[in-house]
Amino acid sequence: MFTKILIANRGEIACRVAATARRMGIKTVAVYSEADANAKHVAVCDEAVLIGPAAAKESYLCGDKIIAVAKATGAQAIHPGYGFLSENAEFADACAAAGLVFIGPPASAMRAMGSKSAAKQLMEKANVPLVPGYHGEQQDADFLHAQADKIGYPVLLKASAGGGGKGMRVIENSAQFKDALASCKREAISSFGDDKVLAEKYLQRPRHIEIQVFADTLGNCIYLFERDCSVQRRHQKVLEEAPAPDMPAERRAAMGEAAVAAARAVGYVGAGTVEFIANQDGSFYFMEMNTRLQVEHPVTEMITGTDLVEWQLRVAAGEPLPKQQHELAIKGHAIEARIYAENPEKGFLPSIGTLRHLGTPGAVSFELGGDVVAPAAVRIDSGVREGDAISPFYDPMIAKLIVWGADRKQALARMAQALAQYQIVGLATNIAFLKRLVEGQAFSAADLDTGLIERNHDSLFPAAQPAPATALALAAAALLAGESRTVAAPAAAHAADPWSHTTGWRMNQSYARKLAFADEHTAYDTFVTYRAEDWLFSASSAAPQALSLATHNGNDYSIKLGDQATHGTVLRDGDVFHVFANGAHYQLAWNDPMAHAGETESEGGRLTAPMPGKVVSVLASKGQEVKKGEPLVIMEAMKMEHTIAAPHDGVIDDILYGVGDQVADGAPLLAFKTA
Ligand code: MV4
C-alpha cells in the first residue's frame, strides 16, 4: 500500500479522500490555488503545496505542475477526485510516465468511453442493451430520415460529440425530420465542431439509473448495485438514492451484469459508473460510462457498508477487490441531497459569499438489532466550514447531505428532518427547495423520471408566504433580550435605578413600542408593550398576546406566545434577524429608528453595505469634506431604505458604487478618511 498520496482536487471530494487515507495511515499532500490558501482541504491534509492562481486552468487543471509536486513531496500515487483531471487520459499517461500511480482506470479505458458514439458501438458488440436507433457513420440526410422512420416516432436526434443534453432534438413525426436534422447539425457544429448525429427512439419519461462497478487488476469485476439519479435540473443531479425504488431483483441483476460487461469490454480497472436510461416499464439502455468516482458515491457506501475510496486505493496498489459479488448485499436505503449556494427563486443563480453561520444537523448513529451497528443516519460531506467563502471560481456546492434509513420511508423522513435542521446565513441556498422536493408528493411516492422537477414546478416554487407570528415573536424576543443584555450590563452597579433598567419600565404603562420588520416581500409592523414579567406582543393587526422568553442558550431561544411554546435559532447579522424555526429560514430586516450616524458600521475608515441591496442615491462626491452623521449613500434592501452616514468628520477618498448598482452584503461602499 502507498505511504503517501497526492490529492489533485479541492472541496468536499479532496476532504473525502483525505479522510479515508488518514484512516488507512496514508499521508496526504494537498494542492491548492491562491483562492484556496485557507480552504478546508488544505487544513485536513498533511502537507499542502500552492500550484497557481484561482482559475482552474492555471491550477487544478495543470497536470504538469501537479505531477511535479507529487515527485517533490514523495507521493507515490495521485487521486484525481471527480471533475478537473479525473477523466483526462493524457494526465493518466503523464502520471505513468513520471512513475506515479494514477488512482483511476487505465487511460485506454478512459479513451474508449470518452467518445460517446464509439462507446455505443463497443457496447453493441458486448451485448449491452442500447436504445433502438442508428449510431453509425452514415450521415446522409435521406438515409438518416429512413432510419428515423424505421425507429418509429418520437425520435431523438443527438449530436454524437454531445453530452449533457446539448444538441438534442425531439422529432414527433416524419414531416418534422428534415428541419430538425438541419437545426441539430447546426447546433452540433457550433457547439462541438462536429456535425455528426445519431438517431434514437425517444423515451418519454425516462429514469436515470446508474450502476456502480469496480474492477481490480487481477481480472475481478463486480457491481455494487444501482443509484437512481432521476431528479435532475438541467442535467445537474439534485437528489440521488440507492437502491432505485421499485427495482425487482432480476432486473437489478440484469443491469448489474450488463454494467460489468460494459466495464470488461474496455478493460476497466477501479471505480466506474455505467449510466442507463430506463423506461417506466423497466427496460433499460446504456447511455455512457463515467470513468471516475462519482459525487453520489456515498449512497452506495451507505447501503453496502463499504468505503469506495479505500477500494480505489487498494485496487490502485494492486490488491484484489475487498469483496466478491456474493458477499455484497443491500442494507436499507440512502438518499443524498446536494446543498448548493444558489437561489432557486432566481433561476438557480449561484450565490457567492461567506458562510457566516453554518449549523448542521447532528450526526446520529444507533444500534440496529443485536450488536450490528447501522450506518450513521446522517452523513455530511463538505469542503467548507463556517467562515469559508463560496467563490465564483469553482462549483458552488456547499455540502452533500446523505441520510440512511432502514427503508425509503425512514430515509425520506430523516432527509426532511436534516434539511429542516440545516442553517446557513450569508448565502442563498437551495435548502428550502430541497425540502419541498423531498416532502413533495412525486418524490415521496417515488414517481420518478427526469422531468419530475419541471412537472411539479408549481408546488416546488410556491408563492412566498408571509412569516408567521411565531417567527416575528422569536425575532422580537431575541432583539429585546439582546438590548437588555447589552445595555443592562454596564448599568448593573445601579440596579436600583429605574432609569438604567431596560425592561421597558415606563411612566406611561400603555406605551407600545413599534418594531418594524420586513422580508423581501412583506413589511411587518409588530408592537411590544413591556410588562413586569413579560411582554405583550402583536404582529400586524392581530390581537396582542403575552410573549415571554422561556430559555435562551446562545442563539437558541424558547419562547411562549399566548399559549403556544416555540423554539428557534435567531442570528442577528447587523439589522437582519435570521430566524430558523419549524424547518424554515426567515430573514427579517429590522428598521431600527434609533440607527444614526454615530452607530453606522465602519471598518477601517470604510463604510459597508448592511445587507445585500441596491444603491439608490449617492449624496457625496470624491474629495468632499463631510461632517459626522452626514448621509453619504442610500441603499434599498429588504423593502427599506438604509442611509449610510459619515461615522466621523472626514474626507471621501473614493466612491465605489453608482446609482442602480447591486451591492453584496458587507461590501465597502466608499473609502473614507477620518479628518
Ligand atoms: C435520452 C432521453 C430520452 N430518450 N435518450 C440527456 C443527456 C444525455 N446524456 C442523455 N439524455 C437523454 N437521452 C433517449 N433516447 C432523455 C434524456 C434526458 C435525460 C437523461 C438522463 C438524465 C436526465 C435527462 C434529462 C433530460 C433528458
Q: Is the CB of 240 under 6 A from ligand 1?
A: no
Active site residue 16: no
**pLDDT of the residue at 671:** 87
Q: Is the CB of 165 under 6 A from ligand 1?
A: yes
**pLDDT of the residue at 638:** 73
Annotated catalytic residue within 10, 252, 292, 338? 292
Is 70 exceeded by the pLDDT of residue 212? Answer: yes
Pick the closest to residue 432 from 443, 416, 444 (CA basis).
416
**pLDDT of the residue at 604:** 40
SS3 state at 568: strand
- The closest residue, in CA terms, to atom 5 on ligand 1 is 202
Q: Which domains does the chain carry?
A: 4-103 (3.40.50.20), 132-201 (3.30.1490.20), 207-457 (3.30.470.20), 469-590 (3.30.700), 613-674 (2.40.50.100)
What cell does 485 get?
443584555
For the chain, the maximum distance between any two Cα atoms, rounded to a whole number of angstroms, is 97
**pLDDT of the residue at 160:** 85
Q: Ligand 1 centroid to 205 CA: how many Å? A: 9
Is 60 exceeded by the pLDDT of residue 322? Answer: yes
Q: Name the burial class of residue 261, with classes exposed (0-12), middle (13-18) and buried (19+) by CB atoms within 10 angstroms of its CB.
A: middle
The confidence band for 510, taking pLDDT boundaries of 50, 70 and 90, is low
Ligand 1 test: best mutation among 157, 160, 277, most atoms within 8 Å of CB? 277
Ligand 1 atom closest to Cα of residue 275:
21
Q: Is the CB of 105 under 6 A from ligand 1?
A: no
**pLDDT of the residue at 541:** 80
Q: Is the CB of 131 under 6 A from ligand 1?
A: yes
Ligand 1 atom closest to Cα of residue 288:
9
Ligand 1 atom closest to Cα of residue 229:
22
**pLDDT of the residue at 674:** 79
Ligand 1 test: best mutation among 147, 450, 452, 454, most atoms within 8 Å of CB? 450
Is 80 exceeded by the pLDDT of residue 228? Answer: yes
DSSP 8-state assignment for residue 328: -
209-226 average pLDDT score: 98
Q: Phi-psi bin for 83: left (phi > 0), alpha (psi -120 to 50), beta?
A: left
**pLDDT of the residue at 486:** 56
- The closest residue, in CA terms, to atom 6 on ligand 1 is 165
**pLDDT of the residue at 370:** 39
pLDDT, tens only, 163-177 = 767 889 999 999 999
**pLDDT of the residue at 285:** 98
Q: Is the CB of 133 under 6 A from ligand 1?
A: no
pLDDT, tens only, 518-531 = 999 999 999 999 98
Q: Mean pLDDT in the chain?
A: 91
Q: Ligand 1 centroid to 276 CA: how many Å? A: 10
Q: Ligand 1 centroid to 528 CA: how many Å? A: 57
Q: What share of the chain is helix, strand, coil (3-state, %, to 5)?
A: 30, 35, 35
- The closest residue, in CA terms, to atom 15 on ligand 1 is 202
DSSP codes joined into one string, 197-212? EEEEEPPSS-EEEEEE
Q: Ligand 1 centroid to 450 CA: how many Å? A: 8
pTM across the whole model:
0.87
**pLDDT of the residue at 157:** 95
Q: Ligand 1 centroid to 343 CA: how many Å? A: 25
Which among 214-228, 528-542, 611-625 has the top mean pLDDT? 214-228
275-290 average pLDDT score: 96
Is 60 exceeded by the pLDDT of residue 504? Answer: no
206-224 average pLDDT score: 98
d(CA 601, CA 609): 9
Q: Is the CB of 232 under 6 A from ligand 1?
A: yes
Q: Ligand 1 centroid to 254 CA: how many Å? A: 21
pLDDT, tens only, 560-610 = 999 999 999 999 988 899 999 999 999 999 988 766 434 444 444 458 887
Q: Ligand 1 centroid to 290 CA: how many Å? A: 15
**pLDDT of the residue at 363:** 52
d(CA 411, CA 419): 12
Q: Is the CB of 156 under 6 A from ligand 1?
A: yes
What kind and span of H or E run contains 472?
helix 469-488
d(CA 156, CA 139): 15
Task: Give the residue, 592 or 406, on which the prediction is more confident.
Answer: 406
Give per-residue burial for 144-159: e unless 16+ CB within 10 Å, then b. bbebbeebebbbbbbb
Residues 79, 85, 86, 92, Cα dihedral to 10° = -70
408-413 average pLDDT score: 97
- The closest residue, in CA terms, to atom 21 on ligand 1 is 208
**pLDDT of the residue at 369:** 39
